[in-house]
Amino acid sequence: MSDILRIIQERHSARIPYDPKRQVSKEDLKQILEAARWAPTAHNMQNFDAVIIDDKAVLEKIGNIKSRISEEFLRENYEQLSMSKEELLKKKTGILGAMFPPEWVDPSKMAEVAKKTELFPLTQSIRGSPTLIIIIYDQRKRAPASKNDVLGFMSLGCLMENMWLMAQSLGVGLQILSSFSAPPVETELKKLLGIPEYMKIAYTCRLGYPTGASKYLRIRRDIEDFTHLNQFGNKGI
């Protein structure tokens, strides 16, 4: 197996707490950002900037910003869940419901949970990470002839993958935090970090060194499940 394929297969969301006392070195951070620099983007527009946060005082201020779980997230997240390892292995897509609190996986309780859920600080998402990379983009721009800037969002995905694979190769844990782009949170972050109004937060990379091993089941479809040779429906290659 080639080294790049091994890194791709080992890449994962390191969701557990990170060691707040173990900082990501400047050398490793530069390599991750160098990988970002060479990400393919539509028309080579490179419509992104990265705000790197590694100052403890700033991280603390970010951690104090409040967010909440929406009913929309709970219901759409539920659609992707399997309630047992056997079900997940059969479906080959989605994630285990056991990763979430019991009340998040009961459809009859979701509206109630969303209403009663108190605002929680982002420190519960940061979970000890000593470094954050907040990816922003200029919402005034879009790739040529790309409705709703689909190509621009694909470019941001390529950026994410490049950084993630480099982090994996360096032994640095990474998790994507989408909650930082939620409107109320984004407003507070822009104010705190001096991000211009015309810039949008795409996502945040939480970087660091996990305090343990990730123990959730990772599963993918087989090649024969998603390939069609010469004609749709002719499965496999």
Q: Which of 36-40, 112-116, 215-219 holds the top average pLDDT?
A: 36-40
Give the number of other Cβ atoms within 10 Å of residue 165's Cβ. Answer: 18
> pLDDT grade, residue 117 (50/70/90)?
low
Q: What integer is the mean pLDDT of 136-159?
A: 96
CA dist 87 and 92 (Å) reads 8
Task: Please work out, in degrees rounded to the nearest 5, the angle formed at the alpha carbon of residue 131 by the alpha carbons of 100 and 41.
Answer: 90
Q: What is the pLDDT of residues 56-108, one digit of tens each?
A: 999 999 999 998 888 888 899 999 999 999 999 999 999 999 888 888 888 88
Q: Are the C-beta atoms of residues 129 and 22 closer than 8 Å to each other?
A: no
pLDDT for residue 214: 78
Per the structure block, which two tokens stand in for 135? 């990816």
CA dihedral 182, 25, 30, 216 (to 10 degrees): -50
CA dist 56 and 123 (Å) reads 12
Q: 146 Cβ partners below 8 Å, 6+ apart? A: 42, 152
Percentage of the residues of the chain whose pLDDT score is greater than 70: 98
3-state secondary structure 88-148: HHHHCCCEEHHHCCHHHHCHHHHHHHHHHCCCEECHHHHCCCCEEEEEEEECCCCCCCCHH
Q: Where are the domains of the chain?
A: 3-65+123-226, 69-117
Per the structure block, which two tokens stand in for 67? 């967010």
Average pLDDT, the chain: 94
Which three-class secondary structure state does DSSP give residue 216? coil
| Residue predicted with more confidence, 183 or 111 | 183
Q: CATH second-level architecture of 3-65+123-226?
A: 3-Layer(aba) Sandwich (3.40)
